[in-house]
C-alpha cells in the first residue's frame, strides 16, 4: 500500500467543504499484512483503528480472541503470533465493524460509545438507534 497516496487523499478530504463530506457508504479499511516466520504483522493497524473510530485496544482484544492468537502492538503495527491470511484478518475487521461500528438500525458508520444506566452502549448519531456493547472477555 502506498502511504503517500493515502495521505494525499486524506488531505484532499480535509480540504473539501463540509457539505460534500457526507459519506455515501462506509469504506471498510483493508489490512496490510506481512507474514514473518510464525507471525503475522498487520502493518497499518493504527490506520484501520482510526478509520473504525474505536479504541485500538478494544479492536485488538476482539482480534486476538476471534483468531485465538496472542499479539502485541508496536506503534502503528500489530504483530500476531500466528500465520494468518490477509483475507482472514479483513474478515475479522468486517465482523468488528458490523458488531461495534455500523449502526444495527440504519447501517451508517456515524456511531459512538456512550453509557446508559451504567451499561456501555453504541449509539447512532444518524438515526438515534442504539444497542448494548458486548463485553469481550
Candidate list 8, 126, 132, 134; residue touching Zn ion; CB under 5 A: 126
Identify the helix (H) or strand (E) that includes residue 86: helix 86-96
Residues 85-124 interacting with Zn ion (rule: CB under 5 A): 103, 105-106, 124
Candidate list 58, 129, 133, 136; residue touching Zn ion; CB under 5 A: 129
Q: Smaller CB distance to Zn ion: residue 46 or 129? A: 129
Per residue in 52-86, is it b (16+ CB within 10 Å) or e — as a string?
Answer: bebebebbbebbbeebeeebeeeebbbbbeeebee
Q: Smaller CB distance to Zn ion: residue 45 or 96? A: 96
Q: Is 37 exposed, middle or buried (0-12, 13-18, 19+ CB in 10 A)?
A: exposed
With CB under 5 A, what is the number of residues at the site for Zn ion?
7
Give CA 70 to chain center in angstroms. 18
Q: Smaller CB distance to Zn ion: residue 97 or 103? A: 103
57: Cα within 13 Å, side-chain hemisphere: 1
d(CA 55, CA 58): 5
Q: Smaller CB distance to Zn ion: residue 94 or 105? A: 105
| Interacting residue ranges for Zn ion, rule: CB under 5 A | 103, 105-106, 124, 126-127, 129
Amino acid at each position: 500500500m502506498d502511504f503517500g497516496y493515502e495521505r494525499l487523499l486524506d488531505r484532499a478530504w480535509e480540504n473539501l467543504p463540509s457539505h460534500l463530506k457526507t459519506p455515501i457508504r462506509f469504506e471498510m479499511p483493508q489490512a496490510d499484512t506481512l507474514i514473518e516466520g510464525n507471525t503475522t504483522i498487520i502493518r497499518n493497524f493504527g490506520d484501520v483503528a482510526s478509520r473504525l473510530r474505536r479504541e485500538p485496544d478494544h479492536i485488538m482484544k476482539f482480534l486476538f480472541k476471534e483468531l485465538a492468537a496472542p499479539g502485541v502492538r508496536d506503534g502503528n503495527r500489530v504483530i500476531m503470533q500466528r500465520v494468518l491470511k490477509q483475507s482472514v484478518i479483513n474478515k475479522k475487521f468486517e465482523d468488528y465493524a458490523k458488531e461495534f461500528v455500523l449502526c444495527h438500525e440504519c447501517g451508517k458508520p456515524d456511531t459512538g460509545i456512550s453509557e446508559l444506566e451504567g451499561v456501555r452502549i453504541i449509539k447512532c448519531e444518524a438515526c438515534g438507534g442504539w444497542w448494548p456493547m458486548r463485553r469481550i472477555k
